[in-house]
Chain A
Amino acid sequence: MNDTPTYLPESGDWSCAACGEKLAPASVAVTYLQGGFTITLMTCQKCGLSLVPEHLAVGKMFEVEQLLEDK
């Protein structure tokens, strides 16, 4: 496990439709303008497809996007 911020879906039992695999937390790189972070998202262990939950996109991500754009 790692100690990066973790953002999981608020509900549901999610799997990757293409691979049929259950999702597991994995480190994912997030970049925007001059900013770069590592966060933990539920990810298909087989194909690497990552799930960005709604609360992350409209919450923290939106906030950080605005901060970076205003720099």
Chain B
Amino acid sequence: MDQQGLRDIEYRCIQEEQPACQAACPLHVDVRKFMGQVRSGDFSGARKTLDRTLPLPTVLGRVCDHPCQAHCVRAPIDAALVMGSLERAVLSATGPAAKPLSMPGKGKRAAVMGGDVSALTTAWDLGKKGYAVDVYFPGDAPGGHLRELSPDTLPPAALAAEIEIMGRMNVTFRPGQTLDAALLDRLRADYDGVYVEAVSAPALGLSKADADALTLALADREGVYCGGFAAPGEPLSVISLAGDGRRAAVSLDRHLAGVSVTASREREGACPTRLFTNTTGVIPLPAVVPADAAAGFSPDEAKAEAARCLDCQCLECVKACTYLARYKGYPRVYARQIYNNLSIVQGARSYNQMINSCTLCGQCEELCPSGFSMPDLILSARRDMVSRGKMPLWAHEFVLEDMAFSLSDAFRLMRAAPGETTCSQLFFPGCQLGGDPAASVPAVYAHLRAGLPGGVGLGLACCGAPAFWAGRQDLAEAAMAAFHADWEALGKPRVIAACSSCQATFARMAPDIPVVSLWRVLLDEAGLPTSSEALPDGPVAIHDACTGRHDAAGLAAVREILAKLGIAVEELPASGKLASCCGFGGLQANAHPELAAATIARRVAESPRDFVATCSMCRDRLAGAGKRTFHLLDLLFPSKAADPARPDPGFSYRHEARVRLKRAVLETVWNDPLPPETPPAVRLVIPEAVRAVLETRHVLDSDLARVIAYAEATGRKFTDATTGRHLAGLAGARVTYWALYEMLDGVAHIHAGYSHRMNVTGVDRQEG
């Protein structure tokens, strides 16, 4: 990602776009902030917000014709916020005009021809910036048409006070002038720059077409800018005049400073905005009407009116995503943080965990009005880190080892049906379903073989999704290449995927492999199994897998199956295309277990109903968070083991279940002669409380067994004389594991297990 790439990505996130009111204001008054301040009773803060943007604030704040109101997002719901009246209320409640901070003198002089609002604005802005400004105007007092307003609207003292302040800002008023071509020629000669207010100088015969729309520069008259045109037949708009005055002041400032007058000015003046504000659920509230119409809003009435402001923000993705909310920003901010993190040459990369905690589920992209994709951003960051050797091991190492296990001979199996060398279908349950000790993979396979023509093979392996999530494209491609070779040898069968992550992975990495969801096949082709087991009455809530959000046919099939089973369904708020992740996606649970727990807890809280999941990992995580959750296969192929309250089996049991599954199908489906099961090196007894800790530490039973077998064979261990317990450590290729245990009748009773990656001299290392 380079600077330009970053800007392109940032542009996609619209959260920093101006709210509609601010965009519609030619001066871009921060109306949203103003409303927040008024709502909380901070009138002096609200006054500062006006002072920061408005020229002659005690005048403009009273007479502004508030184009913002027409753009207020509340307008179509009930009534626009009455910004004009609120400004007057704030001005009434706060002190008189005050001199703004001015910059030190710049030694350059500008002339202003005219005394109406645009001329006063230009003079105000340039005076504030440290230029000496002379204002040439007809008559004896400046103000133009402001002087024609009723004293109720604009007390004459307010204008006089602001004019007096301008005098202290190095602005000199020169009354009684004839604003003609001769004066303009003289001012051009005498000053470094000139502003001409057209409405005050009709003798010059200037029209809008004479001035450049962006800069208000007059053609062929360098250093002269012209604005403040009266539209024929329309009343003068105070704020439009002020907008012209400000635009001219920016041009003159740049002209006088000798820098580009045209660069980066697209956002000046009233402009469109891309900010999206979700108004779903906004309760209509009538506008507050002041009790005394002549006096305007009392402070309490102003607070009540400002409280109707919706505080327009987008944050559509952040509101829905636990991860995006966790880091207190929004995608645009995250993009910059990630860019900076990737740019660090030396020093701590403090956003590594943020980069590695996204679930890559893509819900944000579905919700974003402009299609911002965190997965695209995060994946490219992870790949960048991997390619430069900067991906920390803590982020994904354990999951990648789990994946390697599922790709090893311990689990991997790719076979056509018994007696066949090729097949037209290949059932691919995936590594997580294959790791569920209660899963009905053999029963599903038998059902598919009985119900589908052309021979159905079985594929036990990992699709490589974890590597893809980890940014390890090399490992993901290697896993897919191995699958692809076997798939070709099997006669290029259609793949029936039970897991939507596998399905999405095949579609992404090997588009030539036809793949369909198991649910569609059961519904349309093989038929649903018949079972005499009692099914829950429902209703149940469906937890759709986030990786299947785009598989409309698969999503529909799940609902049709439940309907055929006679189980009523209540949809969760985030379902189907908008499904929320369980916290495993993108390896969030590995990189940030605590955040993943918050992610799943939020999902669980969405409904008191039992859930039905179509992904084994989702089911296990939901169950682990205390939610009774059926896998859809539990309902189709019920068994006693398939209890919706069964806990997450955990990593060790999943490994064991995969090995058992492979052995079971080899024995019962293919009748392969198998060597007797190798007894474990050491038998372990692990109390549940200890096992729960081992799970969070990613210590497997096999790791402990290896350490203990070594210690018992060599005597290389410590013994505690007070308890008789042994403690042994053994360093492997990257990780050193420790076991605290007692040996009772040849069985190791585990009291604790832990690991570290640091190398410690004095700890034995496994050979080879």
In the complex, chain B residues whose CB is within 8 Å of the CB of A67: 348
Q: Are A15 and B719 in contact (CB under 8 A)?
A: yes
Smallest CB–CB gap between B753 and chain A, Å?
9
Known interface pairs A51-B718, A65-B394; A70-B350 also in contact (CB < 8 Å): yes
Q: Are A52 and B759 in contact (CB under 8 A)?
A: no
B3 at the binding interface (Cβ < 8 Å): no
What residue in chain B is nearest A71 (Cβ atoms)?
Answer: B348
Query: Contacting A32 at CB < 8 Å: which of B716, B721, B757?
Result: B757
Q: Are B720 and A13 in contact (CB under 8 A)?
A: yes
In the complex, chain B residues whose CB is within 8 Å of the CB of A31: 758-759
A66 at the binding interface (Cβ < 8 Å): yes
Q: Are B715 and A70 in contact (CB under 8 A)?
A: no
In the complex, chain A residues whose CB is within 8 Å of the CB of B738: 52, 54, 57
B752 at the binding interface (Cβ < 8 Å): yes
Q: Which of B226-234, B452-460, B560-568, B760-768 contacts A (4 or more CB under 8 A)?
A: B760-768
Smallest CB–CB gap between B756 and chain A, Å?
4
B717 at the binding interface (Cβ < 8 Å): yes
Residues of B within 8 A of A (CB-CB), count = 40
B39 at the binding interface (Cβ < 8 Å): no
CB-CB contacts of A49-71 with B at 8 A, as 1s and 0s? 11110100110011011110111
Q: Are B349 and A43 in contact (CB under 8 A)?
A: no
Q: Are A28 and B720 in contact (CB under 8 A)?
A: no
Q: Are B721 and A15 in contact (CB under 8 A)?
A: yes
What residue in chain A is nearest B757 (Cβ atoms)?
Answer: A65
What residue in chain B is nearest A62 (Cβ atoms)?
Answer: B756
A5 at the binding interface (Cβ < 8 Å): no
Interface-central residue, A14, A49, A70, by most chain B CB under 10 Å: A70
A41 to B722 Cα, complex, angstroms: 20
**Which residues in chain B, 677-720, are within 8 Å of chain A measured between CB atoms?**
697, 711, 714-720
B651 at the binding interface (Cβ < 8 Å): no
Q: Are A65 and B758 in contact (CB under 8 A)?
A: yes
Q: Chain A, interface size: which category?
A: 35 or more
A28 to B720 Cα, complex, angstroms: 21
Known interface pairs A17-B715, A18-B715, A51-B727; A12-B757 also in contact (CB < 8 Å): no
Smallest CB–CB gap between A1 and chain B, Å?
17
Query: Contacting B718 at CB < 8 Å: which of A23, A30, A62?
Result: A23
In the complex, chain B residues whose CB is within 8 Å of the CB of A41: 760, 762
A54 to B716 Cα, complex, angstroms: 18
CB-CB contacts of A1-16 with B at 8 A, as 1s and 0s? 0000000010111111
Known interface pairs A52-B760, A57-B738; A17-B720 also in contact (CB < 8 Å): no
B729 at the binding interface (Cβ < 8 Å): yes
Smallest CB–CB gap between B385 and chain A, Å?
10
Query: Contacting A50 at CB < 8 Å: which of B723, B758, B761?
Result: B761
Smallest CB–CB gap between B244 and chain A, Å?
53
Q: Are B394 and A66 in contact (CB under 8 A)?
A: yes
In the complex, chain A residues whose CB is within 8 Å of the CB of B722: 11-13
Query: Contacting B759 at CB < 8 Å: which of A18, A30, A64, A71?
Result: A30
A67 to B754 Cα, complex, angstroms: 19
Q: Are B740 and A54 in contact (CB under 8 A)?
A: yes
Smallest CB–CB gap between A4 and chain B, Å?
13
B726 at the binding interface (Cβ < 8 Å): yes
A71 to B740 Cα, complex, angstroms: 33
A4 to B563 Cα, complex, angstroms: 68
Q: Are B718 and A17 in contact (CB under 8 A)?
A: yes
In the complex, chain B residues whose CB is within 8 Å of the CB of A49: 716, 718, 762-764
Q: Are A65 and B760 in contact (CB under 8 A)?
A: no
Smallest CB–CB gap between A49 and chain B, Å?
6
B744 at the binding interface (Cβ < 8 Å): no
What residue in chain A is nearest B714 (Cβ atoms)?
Answer: A18
B347 at the binding interface (Cβ < 8 Å): yes
Known interface pairs A15-B718, A52-B738; A43-B762 also in contact (CB < 8 Å): yes
Known interface pairs A13-B720, A30-B760, A51-B727; A70-B349 also in contact (CB < 8 Å): yes
Smallest CB–CB gap between B716 and chain A, Å?
6
A58 to B714 Cα, complex, angstroms: 26
A61 to B394 Cα, complex, angstroms: 13
Smallest CB–CB gap between A68 and chain B, Å?
9
Smallest CB–CB gap between B383 and chain A, Å?
17
A9 to B244 Cα, complex, angstroms: 76
Known interface pairs A12-B722, A14-B720, A54-B754; A48-B347 also in contact (CB < 8 Å): no
Give me 16 A-to-B residue pairs in the complex whose CB atoms sit less than 8 angstroms apart, sorted by A's number: A13-B720, A14-B720, A15-B719, A18-B717, A26-B762, A29-B761, A49-B716, A49-B764, A50-B761, A51-B718, A52-B729, A54-B740, A61-B756, A65-B757, A69-B394, A71-B348
4 extra interface residue pairs, beta carbon distance < 8 Å, beyond A14-B720, A18-B716: A16-B718, A32-B759, A49-B716, A65-B394
Point out residues on A near B: beta carbons under 8 Å.
9, 11-18, 23, 26, 28-32, 41, 43, 48-52, 54, 57-58, 61-62, 64-67, 69-71
Point out residues on B near A: beta carbons under 8 Å.
346-350, 352, 392-394, 697, 711, 714-723, 725-727, 729, 736, 738, 740, 752, 754-764
Interface pairs A-B: 7 shortest CB-CB: A50-B762, A69-B392, A12-B720, A18-B715, A13-B721, A32-B758, A57-B756
